[in-house]
Structure 1
Amino acid sequence: MKQKIAALLIKYPFLKWVTNRFILATLFFVVWLLFFDTYAFYDHRTIDKEINKLEENRDYYQTEINSDDKNIRKLYRKEEVERYAREKYYMKRENEDIYIIDSDKEYTTEETN
């Protein structure tokens, strides 16, 4: 039996390293830490991605809050309130006509034969 093992070790020298119990224990712990532990690498990656997504959302909402604060500060003036009401709610002054032009639609002409 020992001769077969010795012959295998001569033929395949890497088996000497693979069968070493310290290397096997180290490999076991590395695999355990990478995949099965509560602080696993994959879990950290998914949590980091989620944190990045939440930080991007926070930044977006912070910029929206800042722009809304700017608009609110503008609305303390009477002229700005009037301008806002005219633009957003199509309000008008007396003796004034409003024409709404929808620029989102594309008008095309069809050729008939």
Structure 2
Amino acid sequence: MKKTLKILSYLKNKYIVAILVFLFLMFFYDRNDFFVQIQRKKELSSLEKSKTFYQTEIEKTQQELNNLENNPASLEKYARENLFMKRDNEEVFIVDSINPKEKEK
């Protein structure tokens, strides 16, 4: 009984009521409420992970580009493997490898 009277005496104070209403509105009805902030933090962490992934991929690609520009042997290797180019006096045979499981069917 004493606790309820004590709580009621606090609720009679208009400043405490105003603060409670303000906090309630900020936590649940604001455009940037508590739940939106949690969601944005999760999204930020996933974006930071993807940022680090893409940065490492950019570094690998730049290194490969630098290697292709400065090393003629790597340029020839890239052209042969990826673009199926050949020299004038060569013949190229492309063989598709068949999985053993597909062979049985």
Aligned partners of 2:89 and 2:45: how far apart in 1? 54
Aligned to 2:50: 57
Deviations along 1:37-95, one digit per CA (max 9) or x if unpaired, are 34421121122122122212211211111000110111121111100000001111233
Structure 2 residue corresponding to 1:100, chosen from 75, 91, 94? 94
State the Cα distance separating 1:102 from its structure 2 match: 2.8
Residue 85 in 1 paired to residue 76 in 2?
A: no
Query: What secondary structure does 1:108 align onto?
Result: helix
Aligned partners of 1:62 and 1:89: how far apart in 2? 26
State the Cα distance separating 1:99 from its structure 2 match: 2.5
Aligned to 1:35: 28
Q: What is the aligned length? A: 97
Pair member with larger Rg: 1
Gaps of 5+ in 1: 1-8
The residue type equivalent to 2:86 in the other structure is K
Aligned partners of 1:41 and 1:99: how far apart in 2? 63
Residue 69 in 1 paired to residue 62 in 2?
A: yes
State the Cα distance separating 1:17 from its structure 2 match: 5.3
Aligned partners of 1:38 and 1:17: how far apart in 2? 34
Query: What is the root-mean-square deviation of aligned Cα atoms in Å?
Result: 2.5
Gaps of 5+ in 2: none
- Which consecutive aligned stretches of 4+ in structure 1 deviate over 4 angstroms post-superposition? none
Q: TM-score, normalised by structure 2?
A: 0.70
State the Cα distance separating 1:14 from its structure 2 match: 5.6
Q: TM-score, normalised by structure 1?
A: 0.66
